[in-house]
């Protein structure tokens, strides 16, 4: 069965950094379009960064220059390095495939950025 497990979130001060991890089973990330989503209270879940099926990367405008998506194919794990964090980055972060019907969502990992 498919399982997505996010980790690496935490409480950081504005300007700090975090590295999120998404470990997957039941899906081969390198063969799929996959990305990081976030959902803040009262807001719709949004796509922050992603790999296309061809390995290209895309970023939300708010993430460009600050976030970097990467993957370790041997570990079937996708990462999101987040730098220069801002309070508006506060959200629960999830990984999932991009396009089509999402896989079962994992528990997400909470990122809280204090001002």
**pLDDT tens per residue across span 60-93:** 999 999 999 999 989 999 999 999 999 999 999 9
User: What is the spatial distance between Cα 24 and Cα 30, in angstroms, rounded to a whole number?
Assistant: 11
How many residues appear in the chain? 115
Tens-level pLDDT at each residue, the chain (115 residues): 889 999 999 999 999 999 999 999 988 777 789 999 999 999 999 999 999 878 899 999 999 999 999 999 899 999 999 999 999 999 999 999 998 889 999 999 999 999 9
Contacts of 42 (CB under 8 A, 6+ apart): none
105: left (phi over 0), alpha (psi -120 to 50) or beta: beta
User: What is the spatial distance between Cα 104 and Cα 82, in angstroms, rounded to a whole number?
Assistant: 24
Three-state DSSP state, 18: strand
């Amino acid at each position: 069965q498919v399982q997505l497990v996010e980790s690496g979130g935490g409480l950081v001060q504005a300007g700090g950094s975090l590295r999120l991890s998404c470990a997957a089973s039941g899906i081969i990330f390198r063969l799929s379009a996959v990305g990081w989503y976030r959902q803040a209270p009262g807001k719709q879940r949004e796509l922050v960064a992603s790999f296309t099926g061809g390995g290209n990367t895309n970023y939300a405008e708010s993430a460009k220059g600050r976030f970097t998506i990467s993957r370790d194919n041997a570990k079937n794990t996708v990462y999101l390095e987040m730098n220069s964090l801002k309070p508006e980055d506060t959200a629960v972060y999830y990984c999932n495939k991009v396009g089509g019907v999402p896989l079962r969502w994992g528990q997400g990992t909470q990122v809280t950025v204090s001002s």
